[in-house]
Structure 1
Amino acid sequence: MEKNKKVLFLGLDAAMPDLIQKFVQEGYMPHVKRIMEQGIFSRLETVFPPLTAAAWTAIVSGAGAGTNGVPSLMVKHSGEALDHWHTSFDRNEVLCETL
């Protein structure tokens, strides 16, 4: 790969691939069509639990929630008060290496 070559990973969270393909074929999404033609378009399998934060963290880490530490939008730390939570959008909550 060239040194200055870039990669763009575009994920449409909760989008239905069949509908994206239908709208592209019907001409409603010309820019998405161009991106699909120049790259790869694929349906992905999700993780358990099938939640946004858990899925995106698995994508960038290659590890499931049990390993990466992000099971949902909010994360609990053991020993803290039951009503205290941390947002999983804080990179410091991810317990493993990421891209």
Structure 2
Amino acid sequence: MMLEVFGQFGIGLPPPTIDPLLKHEVERTKSLLKKNKEEGKEIGCSIMTDAWSDRKRRSIMNLCVNSRMGTVFISSKECSNESHTSQYIYDYVESCIQ
């Protein structure tokens, strides 16, 4: 049915856009993160790292922050060529904090 409508309109049919929805969601997410940061400054938070391997056997390391408001994903990096030493993990966490 939808394809028939596209065909009836012709070549000049503009593609659908989700820009307003995407912009709204970005702003909502920024607002939630701001509240989470403010709470972290006030009562503290925990920084968590997680390492795992995907189906292609690539090593992935994630960094999240946890507070009473919940857990927020901060960063992810592919680190197959690196040894997960304490110094490597420290440097990754420090770079995300900065």
What TM-score do you get using the length of structure 1 for normalisation? 0.27
Larger Rg: 2
Could you say which structure has the higher strand fraction?
2
Could you say which structure has the higher helix fraction?
2
